[in-house]
């Protein structure tokens, strides 16, 4: 793990995301092989699908962060639900033959990439927004994105909670 400096408003977000990624990895490593093919609480998704989604789950956030870091306008299509659903489906399909361990490694790598982008944000970026965006960057990072990992970590935990040892 790399030590990074964060803007004051970013530090708690980065810490929360780092901790949730660590929890996801710890939880996933406790799975028995047969658990990956079991249906998850998400309709139509197995637990392996949830893990594959988490392995790529930062793609929207990273797209947003790249636009801020590069000081370029965000293509707002990236926050359209239909676009996100199509992207998720494509990314899941691309990972269908990967092993859970390969997906866990990807979860860790994606988390590190997000941390690296967060470290490039400045104090003045918190209130950044653009016309047509539903919220500021600060609102997205504080209120919207961290719930993604928390929610899916909870989905993974349900498998462990329901296994009789």
**How do residues 4-39 score in pLDDT, each as one tens digit?**
999 999 999 999 999 999 999 999 999 999 999 999
Q: How is the chain split into domains, by residue range? A: 11-162
Q: What integer pLDDT is reported at residue 1 of this predicted model?
A: 54
**Spatial CB neighbours of 73, under 8 Å, sequence gap ≥ 6:** 67, 130
Model confidence band, residue 50 (pLDDT cutoffs 50, 70, 90): very high
pTM metric for this prediction: 0.89
Q: Which stretch, 8-12, 72-76, 87-91, has highest mean pLDDT?
A: 8-12
* Tens of pLDDT, residues 97-153: 999 999 999 999 999 999 999 999 999 999 999 888 899 999 999 998 888 999 999
- Alpha-carbon distance of 116 to 109, in angstroms, equals 11
Please say whether the structural domain 11-162 has been given the CATH code 1.20.120.450: yes
Q: How many CA atoms lie within 13 A of 10 on its CB side?
A: 20
Distance CA 52, CA 147 (A): 17
């Amino acid at each position: 793990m790399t030590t990074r400096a964060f803007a004051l408003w970013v530090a708690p977000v980065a810490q929360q995301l780092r901790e949730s990624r660590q929890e996801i990895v710890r939880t996933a490593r406790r799975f028995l092989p047969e658990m990956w093919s079991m249906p998850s609480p998400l309709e139509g998704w197995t637990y392996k699908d949830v893990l594959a989604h988490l392995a790529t789950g930062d793609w929207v956030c990273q797209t947003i962060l790249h636009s801020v870091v590069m000081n370029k306008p965000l293509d707002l299509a990236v926050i359209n639900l239909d676009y996100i659903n199509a992207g998720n489906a494509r990314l899941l399909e691309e990972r269908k033959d990967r092993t859970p361990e390969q997906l866990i490694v990807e979860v860790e790598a994606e988390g590190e990439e997000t941390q690296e982008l967060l470290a490039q944000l400045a104090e003045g970026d918190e209130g950044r927004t653009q016309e047509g965006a539903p919220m500021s960057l600060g609102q997205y990072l504080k209120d919207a994105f961290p719930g993604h990992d928390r929610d899916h970590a909870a989905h993974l935990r349900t498998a462990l909670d329901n296994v009789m040892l």
